[in-house]
Amino acid sequence: MKRHSPTNRTLAAVAWLTVACALGALWSARAGAADATTAKLQAIDVQTLSEAARSLGAGWGTVMLRIVAPNMRSALLNSALLSVALVLGEFTIAQLLNFVNLQVAINMLGRANAGVSIAVAVASLFFAFILLVALSFVGRRRSGSVQVEE
């Protein structure tokens, strides 16, 4: 039976901690972005605007690009700025505390090899996108389910 050295266990623990921190950052950034966009969606009457545009012959793409997106511009900008501020703050704190998380590791990779750093950054963004898409389907009610009230 092969015994793991303390160094390997430490590296594995740091890797899992980095993954947990990245997921936590994604979750908290998602919450801030959702709050900003939800508040704006509740402030404008999206249903009436989209129904009016659809009744005038606009497609769903036109409705989203020409009616919903201009009304949501400030909310989308706010949510993007909140997410960027959260990620930059996490990077700064990790850098100051000499803790190597994903952002610091990508920064160190960039100093050594810019191409690998860019590939890792794009892969992490793609992973975050896939994770958020998967999370959007978790907890949805199924269309065929019936809720029984007592």
CA-to-CA distance for 9 and 34, rounded, in angstroms? 37
Q: Is the dihedral of CA 130, 133, 135, 141 positive or negative?
A: negative
User: Phi-psi category of 139—alpha, beta or left, where left has phi over 0 and alpha has psi -120 to 50?
Assistant: left
CA-to-CA distance for 12 and 5, rounded, in angstroms? 11
44-69 average pLDDT score: 87
Question: Which pair of tokens denotes residue 131?
Answer: 């994770």
The set of long-range contacts for 129-132, using a CB threshold of 8 Å and a minimum separation of 24, is: 131/23, 131/26, 132/26, 132/30
> Where do the structural domains in the chain lie, given as residue ranges?
18-43+80-137
What is the tens place of the pLDDT at every residue in 91-140? 778 778 888 877 788 888 888 888 888 888 888 888 888 887 887 777 66
**pTM (two decimals):** 0.49
Question: Which pair of tokens denotes residue 28?
Answer: 């908290």
pLDDT of res. 106: 80
What is the tens place of the pLDDT at every residue in 8-48? 555 565 566 666 655 666 666 666 677 777 777 788 888 88
Instruction: Using pLDDT thresholds of 50, 70 and 90, give the confidence band for residue 90.
Output: confident
CA-to-CA distance for 137 and 135, rounded, in angstroms? 5
